[in-house]
Amino acid sequence: MELDGKNAIVTGGSLGIGAIIAFKLAENGANVAINYRKHDKEAKDVAKKIEKLGRKALVVKADVTSYTDAEKMFSKVIDTFGRLDILVCNAGVTRDRVIWKMNEKDWDQVIAVNLKGYFIYNKFAAQCFKDQKYGKIVNITSINGLRGKFGQTNYSASKGGEIALTKALAKELGKFNVNVNAVAPGMVMTEMAKSIPPEFIKKAIDETVLGRLATPEDIANVVCFLCSEKARHITGEIIQVDGGQYI
pLDDT of 211 reads 94
pLDDT at 119 over 80: yes
Q: Which of 45-49, 75-79, 90-94, 216-220 has the lowest mean pLDDT?
A: 90-94
pLDDT at 220 over 90: yes
pLDDT confidence tier of residue 245, bands split at 50, 70 and 90: very high
Q: Are 176 and 129 in contact (CB under 8 A)?
A: yes
pLDDT of 179 reads 98
pLDDT tens digit sequence for 138-149: 999 999 999 999
Helical H segments across the chain, by residue range: 16-27, 40-52, 67-81, 104-111, 117-132, 144-147, 153-173, 198-207, 216-226
Distance CA 225, CA 230 (A): 7
Catalytic residue among 67, 118, 155, 246: 155
Distance CA 212, CA 222 (A): 17
pLDDT of 225 reads 98
pLDDT confidence tier of residue 86, bands split at 50, 70 and 90: very high
Active site residue 155: yes
Please list, in sequence order, all residues whose beta carbon lies within 8 angstroms of the beta carbon of residue 198, skipping any fewer than 6 positions away. none
pLDDT tens digit sequence for 179-209: 999 999 999 988 767 777 888 889 999 999 9
Q: Among residues 2, 71, 6, 14, which one has the least CA distance to residue 32?
A: 6
pLDDT of 190 reads 84
Distance CA 199, CA 54 (A): 42
Q: What is the mean pLDDT of the chain?
A: 95
pLDDT of 140 reads 98
* Cβ neighbours around 190 below 10 Å, total: 21
pLDDT of 198 reads 85
Q: Give the start-to-end residue ranges of the domains of the chain.
A: 7-187+216-241
179 phi and psi, to 5 degrees? -95, 130
Question: The domain 7-187+216-241: what is its CATH number?
Answer: 3.40.50.720
DSSP category for residue 195: G
